Amino acid sequence: MNIDEALKKIGDHFGSRILKVNRKSSKRAYIDIYPKDVVDVVRYIFKDMGLRFNIASAVDDFDSLEILYHFTYDPTAIIISIRAMLKDKNDPHIDTITGVTRSAWWIEREMHELFGIEFDGNNDLRPLLLPDDWPSGVYPLRKNFVVPKRDSRKE
Amino acid sequence: MSHKAHVPIGPYHPLQEEPEFYKLVVEGETVVDVDVRIGYNHRGIEKISESKNFDQSIFIVERICGICSSSHPVACVQAIEDICDITVPERALYIRSINQELERIHSHLLWLGLAGHFLGYNTVFMWAWKYRELICDIMETVTGNRQNYAMLKVGGVRRDIEREHVPYILSRLDELLPKLDMLKGAVLDDPVLAARLKGVGILTKEAAIDYAALGPVARASGVDIDVRRDHPYAAYDRVKWNVITQTEGDVFAKTVVRILEMYESASIIRQCLDNMPDGPIDSNPKEIPAGEGIGVSEAPRGECFHYIKSDGSNSPVRHKVRAPTYMNFPTFRETVMGQTVSDATIILAAIDPCYCCTERMLIVDTKDKSIMNVEELIRLSQEKTQRLKEKMGIK
């Protein structure tokens, strides 16, 4: 399954639910979808097409947040990234994909604490990396977070 | 009526060099639930990288881990090269491979030693760490550093492997291989270790796929993936080697995979040194355009994944780093449950959680109360590198 066959398969299966396909090279492609379709798309790619889940990465685009779910098909070395734009930065919501693959367990916790994204249906969103007394509503990987200066005289 | 007890391990304890907190819930001897708390070492590298330029980002990611200090920069430069299709000179590709394989041997030896230590088999610990020094010496003579080699840059490598280095590297590998045979015998033929490791902490193939496990952890469970073969980068498609897989998925299988991989690594290094063409080592790219790129490399623990988004300025807008242990760690839920407390440590250690050994030395002389400062330590280290080079007969 080369990249064109993979993209055709996804395109045929989801039709107009696919917003945009960017075939960047013979090894990389980015597919934009609606956030509400994320579970269906991820299930199809992970379970039916048998791609490996690399990781998800959230990006703060200033106006909105986007999540990229990266999948690899090892036999032909292609990486397909699914992009979901979360328009409302004040209340970003998306369905959890932990029901499809348990490999998303930690990354959803991480995106929850670092970007403030709510994963509906995931009931284990405890902090993973940040300390327990981290203030709520402060998301360090958002662009508006500025790393505070330390007062070295107090150390 | 059940009597559940909690056994805390960590976050700071004498065996684990890095802080992690395991909470084992046990019923009698049996582990019935487990949770892990990480983050004690969180340094915010992804955030820092956004405030650095691309050259500095490579420098930063090299410091994520003292053991994978070649794998992260390789994945990082490949992600940047993916943004703008930079062609890397052939010789640089070979040097990247050599660097990565040397790192793999020393990392697997480090793990083997720690695994021996966890099991109370300290002979293996002493041997593995002693012979790991052979590799660290090669690294020091070739790159100037035992760890954090600073070899990588976008478009190539920063330092060449000189012609006079080659016989030295080969002689050290010749010295290492009989020692590897000895270690292999001491571990794989030992009936006590077999009794201790076989059938312990099994990760099934289905679970390995579901958890998207990587590297030796996946390969020991029969998942035949290896970035070096599947996504050929550096010079891996120009040499002959095998991907080692096992089917059992237990701690013993993980050990077998790592031990046999060291032989493959040694063979890759030899072939690379033999076939390495002359030529430039850097294509000197000038600008990184806007766009996004993904780079992957096979670290000793599995696939390193870097995603970089650029807006055309000189620093990344977003730099996502996914180290292999991040995916391998959650598999503990599969492997530890139902096992005994005494096996829990080796099962948790079997994924080779990333340890750091960058601390070299601090000399404190209590007699005349002199403490060496950074400059003096650097001078000491440079003198040692010089002595090593003199021993191998090069300037």
CA distance A104 to chain B (A): 8
Report CB contact under 8 Å: A129, B42: yes
B44 interaction partners in chain A (CB closer than 8 Å):
140, 147
Cross-chain CB nearest to A129 (options B39, B293, B317): B39
Pick the CATH number of B43-350 from 3.90.550.10, 3.40.50.970, 1.10.645.10, 3.50.90.10: 1.10.645.10
Please judge whether A77 and B232 are an interchain contact, meaning their C-beta atoms are less than 8 angstroms apart. Answer: yes
**CA-based nearest distance B319→chain A, Å:** 9
Query: Is B1's pLDDT higher than 60?
Result: no
- B229: its two tokens: 């073969």
- Given this model, what pLDDT does residue B376 score? 79
Does residue A84 have a pLDDT over 80? Answer: yes
What local confidence, expressed as pLDDT, does residue B230 receive?
Answer: 94
Q: Tell me if A153 is assigned to some domain.
A: no
Residue B352's pLDDT is 78
Q: Residue A94 and residue A114: Cα distance in Å, rounded?
A: 15
Would you say residue A48 lies in a domain? yes
List, for residues A14-26, the tens digit of each pLDDT value: 999 999 999 999 9
pLDDT at position B235 over 90: yes
- Interface probe, candidates A25, A42, A48, A79, chain B, greatest B C-beta count within 10 A: A79
Contact A87, A100 (CB under 8 A): no
- The pLDDT of residue B367 is 62
A75, A49 Cβ separation under 8 angstroms: no
> Can you spell out the DSSP letters for B278-311?
PS-SB-------EEEEEEEEEETTEEEEEEEEEE
Give yes or no for residue B238 having a pLDDT over 50.
yes
pLDDT of residue B364 exceeding 70 = no
State the best of A3, A53, A57, A80 to mutate against chain B, taking most chain B CBs within 10 Å.
Answer: A57
Please compute the mean of the pLDDT values over residues B276-289 and round it to a whole number: 92
Shortest Cα–Cα distance, A1 to chain B (Å):
13
CB pairs under 8 A between A and B: 79
Whether A152 is covered by a domain: the verdict is: no
Provide the number of structural domains found in chain A. 1
Which of A74, A103, A130 shows the shortest C-beta gap to B39?
Answer: A130
Residue A90 lies in a domain: yes
Q: What is the mean pLDDT of residues B32-49?
A: 87
Specify whether the backbone of B30 is left (phi greater than 0), alpha (psi in -120 to 50) or beta.
beta
- Neighboring chain A residues of B309 at a CB cutoff of 8 Å: 59
Chain A hits for B46, CB-CB cut-off 8 Å, are: 141
Is A154 a domain residue? no
Percentage of chain B modeled with pLDDT above 90? 60
Residue B365 has pLDDT above 70, yes or no: no
Which pLDDT score, from 0 to 100, does residue B377 have? 75
In this complex, the residue of B225, B307, B333 whose CB is nearest that of residue A57 is: B307
Q: Could you report the predicted ipTM of this complex, rounded to two decimals?
A: 0.94
The residue whose two tokens read 């379709």 is A37
Those residues with Cβ within 8 angstroms of residue B120's Cβ, 6 or more apart along the chain or in another chain: none
On chain A, the residues whose CB falls within 8 A of the CB of B39 are 127-131
Domain ranges for chain B: 43-350, 363-391
pLDDT attached to residue B219: 96
Asked whether residue B307 carries a pLDDT value surpassing 90, the answer given is: yes
Of B85, B211, B320, the CB nearest to A103: B211
* A64: number of Cβ within 10 Å: 13
Residues of B in contact with A27 (CB under 8 A): 231
Distance of alpha carbon B46 from alpha carbon B79, whole angstroms: 14
What does pTM read for this prediction? 0.91
Q: Which residues from chain A sit within 8 angstroms of residue B326, using beta carbons?
A: 55, 106-107
Residue A35 covered by a domain: yes
Q: Do B38 and A128 touch (CB under 8 A)?
A: yes
Does residue A72 sit within a domain? Answer: yes
Q: What is the CATH number of the domain that holds A80?
A: 3.30.460.80
Measured between alpha carbons, how far is residue B38 from residues B33, B255, B357 in Å? 17, 25, 19
Share of chain B above pLDDT 70, in %: 93
Full domain range(s) for residue A29? 3-145
Please report whether residue A150 resides in a domain: no
The whole-number pLDDT of residue B66 equals 80
